[in-house]
Every structure is written in structure tokens, then in C-alpha cells.
């Protein structure tokens, strides 16, 4: 029942707004443009203030972001900064292949156990009997 009245009411309000804007534009052009500029400026000011506070609250200065940056710095200090492209530019391709192969073999030999990873042992040879499922 409401939809029967809502659509014509909506179109009536929109058409009256267009007529009012056109009337104001033709009778007081300078005042119309002043009002439009003030409205746009005020809206930009409000949006800027809201954006500033939202960006400040959840932006780069949040505690979580500070902790992340601190962790990145600590990681760089611990493991060093490795940039493969700068190494490739300095070293000739033949020596680069030798270093890469030697690095792979040394990493597999001296690999340390990581405390947050563990191996769960189980019988891998034992297969399930699919007929019983």
C-alpha cells in the first residue's frame, strides 16, 4: 500500500527540487553559485575532518602498526637485509651459480629445529581399506 504513494511522492519531490534550482539559477545566478560553492566547501571541510580523525585512529600511527614496524626492524637486524637483485648485479653469472648451489647444500645441513613447528609421526605405509568405509 505504501509503495503506491511512495513512487509518485518521490518523483514529485525531485521535480519540485529541479524546478526550484532552475528558478534560483535564472533569477539569482550569482547567489546560486555562491551557495553551491559554500555548500561544496563546507562538505569538503566536514569530509576532511572526518577523514583526518578516521585516518589518525586506524592509520599508520596505531599501536598494532607500531608493533609491526618494530618486528620488521628486529627481523632485519637479526637476519640481515638480503636483496638478490643487488647481488646479481655485482656478481658474474658463473660465480652466482656456484654460490647458490653452495648455499642450498649448507642450509640443508645446518637447519635448526624451529620451536613452533613439530613433526607428527605416524605410519605412512598403512593404507586405509576403502571397502570398509
Mind giving me the DSSP string for 27-85?
H-HHHHHHHHHHHHHHHHHHHHHHHHHHHHHHSTTSHHHHHHHHHHHHHHHHH----HH
- pLDDT > 70: what percent of the chain? 60
**Confidence at residue 114, expressed as pLDDT on a 0 to 100 scale:** 67
pLDDT higher at 115 or 28: 28
**Confidence at residue 45, expressed as pLDDT on a 0 to 100 scale:** 96
Domain residues of the chain, as ranges? 2-58
pLDDT tens for each residue of 38-94: 999 999 999 999 988 887 766 556 678 788 889 999 999 888 765 555 454 555 555
Residue 96 has pLDDT above 50, yes or no: no
Give the integer Cα–Cα distance in Å for 2 and 10: 12
Q: How far, in whole angstroms, is CA 63 from its chain's centroid?
A: 17
Band (pLDDT 50/70/90 cuts) for residue 29 is very high
The reported pTM is 0.37
Amino acid at each position: 500500500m505504501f509503495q503506491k504513494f511512495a513512487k509518485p511522492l518521490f518523483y514529485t519531490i525531485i521535480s519540485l527540487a529541479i524546478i526550484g534550482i532552475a528558478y534560483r539559477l535564472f533569477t539569482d545566478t550569482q547567489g546560486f553559485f555562491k551557495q553551491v560553492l559554500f555548500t561544496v566547501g563546507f562538505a569538503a571541510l566536514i569530509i576532511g575532518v572526518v577523514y583526518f580523525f578516521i585516518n589518525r585512529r586506524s592509520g599508520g600511527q596505531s599501536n598494532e602498526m607500531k608493533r609491526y614496524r618494530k618486528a620488521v626492524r628486529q627481523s632485519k637486524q637479526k637476519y640481515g637485509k638480503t636483496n638478490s637483485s643487488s647481488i646479481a648485479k655485482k656478481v658474474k653469472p658463473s660465480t652466482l651459480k656456484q654460490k647458490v648451489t653452495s648455499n642450498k647444500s649448507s642450509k640443508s645441513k645446518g637447519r635448526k629445529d624451529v620451536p613452533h613447528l613439530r613433526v607428527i609421526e605416524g605410519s605412512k605405509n598403512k593404507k586405509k581399506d576403502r571397502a570398509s568405509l
